[in-house]
Structure 1
Amino acid sequence: MTAVMSVRRADITTMAVDAIVNAANESLLGGGGVDGAIHRAAGPGLQDECETLHGCATGSAKLTGGYALPATYVIHAVGPVWHGGDRGEALALASAYEAAIVLAQEHRCRTVAFPSISTGIYGYPKAQAAEVAVRSVARALASAPYVEEVTFCAYDDEDLAIYRGILSR
């Protein structure tokens, strides 16, 4: 069975899926944007578990429990800071998405929700990031038969339109 990819405008912290993906920083200790929102909604247990993980490299991902979130797991994926596109940002971003799908497969997650990684304070252009996201998730899903549904969680109407356009191709 081929996994279904879709987009919806939603607060990722309210999504009842097997795993939500956090657009994390390398420390995994919380931050602004979606990262801070996930940490606040999950409660202090998430922070405690993240402290035991000793960070995460850019382009990689690590998994924790979901704590007070409706999601069973949080997959913390670290995307790159945008420096104009000539420092391997696309490869690092693709790697973060792919690493998240690998963890979802390993932990038998059927449903996964992604935010738009690196497009907030890290400054990655939204349309370029969405292209990388959809392409790399589709590629990773070919080796992740357990994952049945991936939802790209749009923060605003602009994100929603960008992902709808890409997914309709």
Structure 2
Amino acid sequence: MNSSRQPHTTDTAAAAGPRGAAFLLAQIGAHAAERFAERVGHLGLTPADVGLLRMIAGRPGRSQRALAEDLGVVPSRVVTLIDGLEGLVERRRSAEDRRNYELHLTAEGGRTLGAVSRAAAAHEDALLAALDPDQRALLLGLLERVAAEQELTPGVHPGYRARG
């Protein structure tokens, strides 16, 4: 047998490419994000828009300032983000503090969020098609544990902070 033809274990590992859970999470995350962006793009939205709509729907009347704190961005950034959702979100002057605006979905915003929910369900079904319901539940639980240990804010994508 010619030993020069047998690869070293380090050569084999390098040829196989990156390994490990962190790489797979990044790879699947990038793939999932791209596919989700395509699905909501048909609705005229970006994934960031979807996140804002969900946060506003989850706590109607939240102030722009409170939303900025939850997102980890400066309040002026929220003004710009909300401006991009014209027709889907409305600002109302706060009855308690006239300097603040409260955020609410419009009727169109509610209908749009319904369409987003259907697109998100189809997206998750397609992404996790290889798993049965018990495996999906197990995966979700494990990912929630990892996210909690990393002190990630539930329901808030850390990408908002990177947007400035």
Q: TM-score scaled to structure 1, two decimals? A: 0.22
Structure with a larger share of its residues in helix: 2
Higher relative contact order (CA 8 A, sep 6+): 1
TM-score by length of 2: 0.23
Q: Looking at CA atoms only, which structure, 1 or 2, has the larger radius of gyration?
A: 2
Larger fraction in strand:
1
